[in-house]
Amino acid sequence: MFKFTSIWLRGAKEFGSQASRTSKASMRWASTYKRFNNTKSSSNILQDPTYRKYAAGVLGLGGVFYVTHLEEAPVTGRRRFIWSTEGLEKWVGDRSYRQVLAENRGHILPPHHPLSVKVSNVFEKILKVSPIDESHLDWKVHIVNDPRAPPNAFVLPGGKVFVFSSILNICQNDDGLATVLSHEFAHQLARHTGENLSKTPIYAALGIFLYALTGADFFNSLLINTIIKMPASRAMETEADYIGLMLMSEACYDPNESYKLWERMANWEKGRGVHQPEFMSTHPGTETRIQNMRSWLPEAEERRAKSHCGQFTSFYDFGRGREIF
Ligand SMILES: [Zn+2]
């Protein structure tokens, strides 16, 4: 099934599974506590003044920590909670990078391969219009030449981009390619990995709290996933789509190709019977993405116009359909 399953999600999943293990251990502790200390139910605990004092203190400190770690995402200005450091994100990225390289050994095209050069050139142009200088990162774009792999692309925190060869047919041209690459770049620019890492302890704490209340692990996981985690992930994917579209337009790529790429993707999905309800997915549905891209086009065109991309158009016209340069 195709999705832009970015590795930051994979990293977060690993991190999340560790947190999940921790929370499960805590839940086991909680169930043991309940079994051997039957004199106090959760409602009794809530009525205990000492417990309530500590709970208020923890909540108060947590609230201050939350408010002082809110910052704006670039381009969209969305306020989000981030406490993780770029060093931690890089550590997660480096660890995943080694793993992905090992998994795809023998399928990665060399850097001098014409396809690698072409994709890297498009990526370079997007990097140049970034509102935050990200050139200090060790950027590398890898093409995974594996026809069996579904069309996909992802970025690792720290600047490693992987593009699977099967998505190149769906990209069809540089503008389509810019749509994919700018989306991946936007994840790094907006530090979505950091945002995910920052939320992981909150999800774990919420899981423990709900388990203490209901004692139902499966139901709580489903609740947290569908009500909190997946909508948050879809919001970040939509943000990456938006930022990506603005950046590719500024880099003089045709924004109209973005929704056309997603139309081609929709056809690919239909051809393979790929369908997943949006509310059960970490990514927005393809139809939603097409609608979003179309609605953002006027703004994207405006950004493109400000970049004076068409200043050499007349030279093309003089050439009667042939490019002079
Ligand atoms: Zn993505």
For the ranges 4-8, 139-143, 214-218, 251-255, the lowest mean pLDDT is seen at: 4-8
Ligand 1 centroid distance, CA of 5 (Å): 6
In this model, does residue 19 exceed pLDDT 50?
Answer: no
238, 53 in Cβ contact below 8 A? Answer: no
Domain definitions of the chain by residue range: 7-307
In this model, does residue 34 exceed pLDDT 70?
Answer: no
Chain position carrying tokens 């200390």: 37
Check residues 296 and 46 and name the one with the higher pLDDT.
296
Ligand 1 centroid distance, CA of 324 (Å): 37
Give the type of residue at 41. Answer: S
Number of Cβ within a 10 Å radius of residue 302: 12
Ligand 1 centroid distance, CA of 230 (Å): 13
Measured in degrees and rounded to the nearest 5, phi and psi for residue 299 equal: -65, -40
Measured in degrees and rounded to the nearest 5, phi and psi for residue 172 equal: 65, -35
pLDDT at residue 311 in the model: 63
Ligand 1 centroid distance, CA of 75 (Å): 16
pTM of the full predicted structure?
0.77
Ligand 1 centroid distance, CA of 44 (Å): 45
List helix spans (H) across 69-149.
86-103, 114-128
Chain position carrying tokens 């030279």: 315
Confidence bin at 242 (pLDDT 50/70/90) = very high
116, 141 in Cβ contact below 8 A? Answer: yes
CA distance 73 to 89: 16
CA distance 300 to 106: 39
CA distance 288 to 262: 10
What is the Cα 89 distance to its own chain's centre?
A: 13
CA distance 135 to 124: 10
What is the Cα 255 distance to its own chain's centre?
A: 20
Q: Exposed, middle or buried: residue 165 (CB in 10 Å: 0-12, 13-18, 19+)?
A: middle
Ligand 1 centroid distance, CA of 194 (Å): 14
Over the Cα atoms of the chain, what is R_g? Answer: 23
pLDDT at residue 46 in the model: 64
Ligand 1 centroid distance, CA of 4 (Å): 5
Ligand 1 centroid distance, CA of 69 (Å): 24
CA distance 164 to 154: 9
CA distance 135 to 130: 9
pLDDT at residue 118 in the model: 96
Partnered with residue 80 across adjacent β-strands are 71
The verdict on whether 239 is a catalytic residue reads no
CA distance 303 to 325: 24
- Catalytic-labelled residue, pool 72, 86, 184, 263: 184
pLDDT at residue 42 in the model: 54
For the ranges 107-116, 203-212, 226-235, the lowest mean pLDDT is seen at: 203-212
Confidence bin at 7 (pLDDT 50/70/90) = very low
Token pair listed for 51: 């417990």
Ligand 1 centroid distance, CA of 57 (Å): 38
Check residues 178 and 312 and name the one with the higher pLDDT.
178
Q: What mean pLDDT is predicted for residues 136-140?
A: 93
Sheet (strand 153-156) strand order: 140-144, 160-164, 153-156
96, 11 in Cβ contact below 8 A? Answer: yes
List helix spans (H) across the chain.
7-36, 42-47, 49-68, 86-103, 114-128, 165-171, 174-189, 192-214, 217-224, 230-250, 256-271, 286-306, 313-318
Q: What mean pLDDT is predicted for residues 4-33?
A: 37
Q: What is the pLDDT of residues 149-200, one digit of tens each?
A: 999 999 999 899 999 999 999 999 999 999 999 999 999 999 999 999 988 8
